[in-house]
Structure 1
Amino acid sequence: MLTPERTALILLAAGRSLRFTDADKLAEPFLDKPLAYHLVTALENVPFLTRIAVVSATSLDFAALGYRVEPSLDPSLGQARSLCHGVSAAKAAGADAVLVALADMPRVTAAHIYRMFDAADGADTIVASSDGVQPGPPALFGRNLFDALLDLKGDEGGRELIKRGHHVVTSPAELVDVDTREDLHKLRALYGLPTDGK
């Protein structure tokens, strides 16, 4: 059985945001806070063993929010390199599992994360989120997958591992991933805030 208390949260916040233009995407305002802080807030009461933020070029201060900050010095090496930084830190902390989440997914809820833990089955766990069609992050991996995660390369992240895991289905709206400025405009418009952040 896996529990949050023995799990490291890895927040991937080191992407180059090439599709968003040159802005600090994670610091872009959405509702009452920077985009990346929505997931941080949603999961703040989940009692993780440790919280690790893998960052590159962002002005946001994750350390002030209780995260151990791991710089990703060369984001051009892809998401897998950032994931390796996080998994290495989780291993050093003695975690039994890692929950990998993306900082640009502002609508993920704690309820969904707990459903993922309900679906976990120990050290061999691979549990991913799904909109009913495509599995993806957030994703939960037991410690027997750590070495496989550390061997990943490029921008695929844990995609191939995720495909063979258990998938917890939730609303597509919860799994919105803000990759482009248009994505952010659409999200703001859903809340009646088309001019938010202009």
Structure 2
Amino acid sequence: MNKIPVILLAAGQSRRMGGLDKLMQEVDGIPLLRRAAKTAQTVGPVIVALPPEPHPRHDALSGLDVLRVAIDDAAEGMNASLRGALKHVHPDAQAAMVLLADLPDLTEADLTAVLRARATHPNHLIWRGATETGKPGHPVLFDRKLFLPLSKLTGDQGAQTVVRAYKDKVHVHALPGQRAVLDLDTPEDWAIWRMHRSP
């Protein structure tokens, strides 16, 4: 069994969606959050950082074998979610993958490719997906040596502080198209994505 967990960050507030929840938008007939969790499950055990209950996002994960972690201080930003989820990573885990829940085009193959990059480039501490032209994005795989600095992050900048501090130990793995960076933050983004998506 793959011991590397996937931390799915899904406690954000969708502030730019005009009252809608981007993670509850349907993709392939199910909420984006559920779809992201099912994709993550294909590569390892999944820890999902969520807003406190009651919240529809908890219901969206009903029946899935994932660990749901309520982030009481989610309003602080992304790093509250990261800190909260890291507490639940198994102590024997040699690495952890961090994945944003709002990247609708990422596939099982993409996550697997970044996991494999750890084996083919073992002298690094961070392995991350990128666009086909090399722009860094998600998912991001962190060696366990970085769990401590990650657990001390605050604010809403994600793990960029740690990534910059270890920039010489980052391997960037190109994924097809814009999958690694394409997020949908506004109703307009969703409309454009749906219009151009292949049936």
- Asked if TM exceeds 0.5, the reply is yes
In 2, the alpha carbon distance for the partners of 1:8 and 1:80 equals 17
- How far apart are 1:133 and its partner, in Å? 4.3
Amino acid at match of 1:51: V
1:55 is the counterpart of 2:50: yes
Amino acid at match of 1:183: D
**Matching residue within 114, 117, 138 for 1:116:** 114
- How far apart are 1:122 and its partner, in Å? 5.3
Mapped contact 1:135–1:162 kept (Cα < 8 A) = no
Mapped contact 1:97–1:142 kept (Cα < 8 A) = yes
**Matching residue within 176, 187, 190 for 2:196:** 190
Normalising by structure 2, report the TM-score: 0.84
In the TM superposition, what are the counterparts of 1:146-185 in structure 2 within 5 Å? 146-163=147-164, 164=167, 165-175=170-180, 176-185=182-191
- How far apart are 1:173 and its partner, in Å? 3.2
- How far apart are 1:10 and its partner, in Å? 0.5
In the TM superposition, what are the counterparts of 1:83-94 in structure 2 within 5 Å? 83-92=82-91, 94=92
Mapped contact 1:128–1:162 kept (Cα < 8 A) = no
Percent of counterpart pairs with the same letter? Answer: 28
Q: Which residue of 1 aligns with 2:128?
A: 128
1:39 is the counterpart of 2:36: yes
Assess, with a 3 A threshold, how the Cα gap between structure 1 residues 125 and 162 changes in structure 2: closer, same or farther. Answer: same
Normalising by structure 1, report the TM-score: 0.84
1:24 is the counterpart of 2:10: no
Specify every segment of 5 or more residues in structure 1 that has no aligned partner in the other structure, as ranges.
Answer: 194-198
| Cα deviation digits, residues 42-61 of structure 1 (max 9, x gap) | 33332x1x210000164133
| Cα deviation digits, residues 75-128 of structure 1 (max 9, x gap) | 221101101111111145x32211111111111111111221222155962011
RMSD: 2.2
